[in-house]
Amino acid sequence: MTLDSPVLDRRTYGLDRVLTVLLWMLVAAPAAAQTTITLGAPGTELTDDVTIRGGGYARVNYSTDDSLITKTSSDTSNVRRVLMKFDTANTIPAGTNIVSATLTLTLKNAAAAASRPIAVYRVTKSFLKGDATWLDYRTAAGWASLGGDLAEKWATADVGRSAGTTVTFDVTRLVQQTVAGTFGTRYTRFALADIGPADNESMRVFHSSRAANAIVRPRLVVTYGTVAPPSPMLVSTATKLKVMTFNTHHGVGTDGRYDLNRIATVIASQSPDVVSLNEVMYNSSYGAGENQPATYKTLLQQKTGQTWYAVYARMDGNWSSTSWAVGNLLLSRIPFSTTTRHALSYNRSAAQGTIVLNGRTINVISTHVDYANASYRTIQTNELKAWASTWAEDRIVAGDFNTSPGTSDYTLMANDYWDVWAAAVRTGVYSSATGTAGYTHGGSRFDYVYLSKGASTLTLDKVSVTDGAGASDHDPVVASFTVR
């Protein structure tokens, strides 16, 4: 990545000439032996696990409880988080390749809310379960931030209410970096927190390492190889990622006709890997109660012959409701390792999905901010950025931002994200019927694909504003990347 554009200069690598040889070398290389271990023994493998609670309970230590609890509430005295630490320093040889890692907990009981989004964060300080509280990570040693010093968010799962069900988080990338020594320790430290809207019925109670039945205790399952993997640069030209963003106008075209099939045809014609759709309706008022998220998924599967995965975020943030709604739909032909939804102020939302491609973790977010009220738009954009920053690099944020280049709202995003259309124009790898303007909605450019400026594994190949054929009042934007 250059200083002014996230576009790869392929001449630097010269991989086109040697790709065949390198791929032969990778195929011909002997497979590394792999070992799978399950870490969960209390005190030795799962060295620490404890609930911390805010407000009037901020000084209470819960290390003797046989439960681990998450809850979010407008009353800080009811807010709870879970801290866990696993010994991946003495159980996994240094320098080994982590193939996969999953964290599994068993639900003990739950409050009335149908489903809650629980996220996994990295904890930066080495806490002790017998000392840890909302205020302190060890006796007389306070957290820098109340409620734990939480760094990046690495995984999310929606947790229901059925006691005895298991909840699994894919934490491969976090364990990979921890074991590699990236964070200055080879012990893996997790925090679990409810990231949904405040709700007194959000409590989720999990079995801890102190549960009488060993089967229901938390466990970290890690598969690792005995040798380091080949350099990802060897296959950098072999893996591509194509991302589309498209405001569907509720399924209504410029001719006033409601037709999801022609929108799906436009999408499939571009062969995208991940698609961000805006103005997608549930219980559609245009389509006789049609469930548009399900219809789009089915149509794409029919047109591409591939399985597609989806996460839908209603704008009202009422995730469990079956009433009429409009929202953002994130679709991917690459399986999501985690998905979540986030409510923004004034009835806006974002949908998030994590994919792993070429061994790289990529977090993709779909959103749509306010059109009519500029102050709402600014608030929503700031909220979106703050939330998106909790997800690990590389990040792609796509959607209808209802603002033009050069505005203050545009600058909010452009300070921390590459506008990939602008980057493509600077380097000549763009196409649009409106030239460098790249209009997506009449005479405006409202629809964006943004790439985080901290991205290190994605390089931009090309961006197009493609002809939507009147299927919507917007045209889609398609960005093509190489995953290194």
Give me the CATH number covering residue 265.
3.60.10.10
Contact 332, 309 (CB under 8 A): yes
Q: Looking at the domain assignment, is residue 412 inside a domain?
A: yes
- The answer to whether residues 162 and 66 belong to one domain is yes
- The answer to whether residues 305 and 210 belong to one domain is no
Q: Of the ranges 94-98, 185-189, 398-402, which one carries the lowest mean pLDDT score? A: 94-98
| Region 8-27 average pLDDT | 39
Which band of pLDDT confidence, cut at 50, 70 and 90, is reported for residue 114? confident
Is the pLDDT at 16 greater than 80? The verdict is no
- The answer to whether residues 303 and 175 belong to one domain is no
Residue with the larger pLDDT of the pair 129 and 484: 129
- The answer to whether residues 180 and 75 belong to one domain is yes
* Distance in angstroms (rounded) separating the CA atoms of residues 111 and 196: 14
Residue with the larger pLDDT of the pair 165 and 2: 165
Q: For residue 439, how many other CB atoms are within 10 A of its CB? A: 18
Residue with token string 């939480």: 150
Partners of 274 in beta bridges: 243, 332
Q: Looking at the domain assignment, is residue 2 inside a domain?
A: no
Q: How far is CA 17 from CA 22, 117, 199, 345, 373, in A?
A: 10, 47, 58, 51, 53
* Distance in angstroms (rounded) separating the CA atoms of residues 204 and 407: 43
Range of the domain at 215: 34-225
Q: SS in 3 state form for the chain? A: CCCCCCECCHHHCCHHHHHHHHHHHHHHCCCCCEEEEEECCECCCEEEEEEEECHHHCCCCCCCCCEEEEECCCCHHHCEEEEEEECCCCCCCCCCEEEEEEEEEEEEEECCCCCEEEEEEEECCCCCCCCCCCCEEECCEECCCCCCCEEEEEEEEEECCCCCCEEEEECHHHHHHHHCCCCCCCCEEEEEEECCCCCCCCCEEEECCCCCCHHHCCEEEEEEECCCCCCHHHHHHHCEEEEEEEECHHHECCCCCECHHHHHHHHHHCCCCEEEEEEEEECCCCCCCCCHHHHHHHHHHHHHCCCCEEEEEECCCCCCCCCCEEEEEEEECCCCCEEEEEEECCCEEEEEEEEEECCEEEEEEEEECCCCCHHHHHHHHHHHHHHHCCECCCEEEEEECCCCCCCHHHHHHHCCEEEHHHHHHHHCCEECCCHHHCCCECCECCEEEEEECCCCCEEEEEEEECCCCCCCCCCCEEEEEEEC
| Region 339-355 average pLDDT | 95
The two structure tokens encoding residue 102: 């999953």
* Distance in angstroms (rounded) separating the CA atoms of residues 92 and 87: 9
Specify the pairing of strand 240-247 against strand 46-53.
unpaired
- The answer to whether residues 308 and 163 belong to one domain is no
| Region 388-394 average pLDDT | 91
Is the pLDDT at 408 greater than 80? The verdict is yes
Q: Of the ranges 85-89, 125-129, 179-183, 468-472, which one carries the lowest mean pLDDT score? A: 179-183
Is the pLDDT at 102 greater than 50? The verdict is yes
- The answer to whether residues 134 and 239 belong to one domain is no
Which band of pLDDT confidence, cut at 50, 70 and 90, is reported for residue 27? very low
- The answer to whether residues 215 and 263 belong to one domain is no
Contact 243, 276 (CB under 8 A): yes
Q: Looking at the domain assignment, is residue 3 inside a domain?
A: no
- The answer to whether residues 409 and 457 belong to one domain is yes
- For residue range 266-281, what is the model confidence (pLDDT) as tens digits? 999 999 999 999 999 9
Total of domains in the chain: 2
Q: What is the chain's mean pLDDT, rounded? A: 89
Is the pLDDT at 378 greater than 60? The verdict is yes
| Region 88-107 average pLDDT | 92
Q: Looking at the domain assignment, is residue 315 inside a domain?
A: yes
Indicate which CATH number applies to the domain containing 145: 2.60.120.230
154 Rama sector, left if φ>0, alpha if ψ -120 to 50, beta otherwise: alpha
- For residue range 179-238, what is the model confidence (pLDDT) as tens digits? 988 888 999 999 999 998 899 999 999 999 999 999 999 999 999 985 444 333 233 333
| Region 382-386 average pLDDT | 96
Which band of pLDDT confidence, cut at 50, 70 and 90, is reported for residue 413? very high
Q: Looking at the domain assignment, is residue 110 inside a domain?
A: yes
Which band of pLDDT confidence, cut at 50, 70 and 90, is reported for residue 286? confident
Is the pLDDT at 294 greater than 80? The verdict is yes
**pLDDT value of residue 96:** 86
Q: Looking at the domain assignment, is residue 441 inside a domain?
A: yes
Domain boundary among 170, 203, 225: 225
- The answer to whether residues 147 and 179 belong to one domain is yes
| Region 130-139 average pLDDT | 96
Backbone angles phi, psi at 62, to 5 degrees: -110, 30
- The answer to whether residues 217 and 252 belong to one domain is no
Q: Of the ranges 250-254, 287-291, 324-328, which one carries the lowest mean pLDDT score? A: 287-291
Picking from 250, 244, 206, 229, the residue whose alpha carbon sits closest to that of residue 110 is 206
**pLDDT value of residue 6:** 56
Radius of gyration in angstroms for the set of CA atoms belonging to the chain, rounded to a whole number: 23
- The answer to whether residues 213 and 241 belong to one domain is no
Q: Looking at the domain assignment, is residue 8 inside a domain?
A: no
Domain boundary among 225, 258, 275: 225
Give the global pTM: 0.60
Which band of pLDDT confidence, cut at 50, 70 and 90, is reported for residue 177? confident
Domain boundary among 225, 249, 278: 225
- The answer to whether residues 428 and 284 belong to one domain is yes
Q: Looking at the domain assignment, is residue 282 inside a domain?
A: yes
Residue with the larger pLDDT of the pair 94 and 169: 169
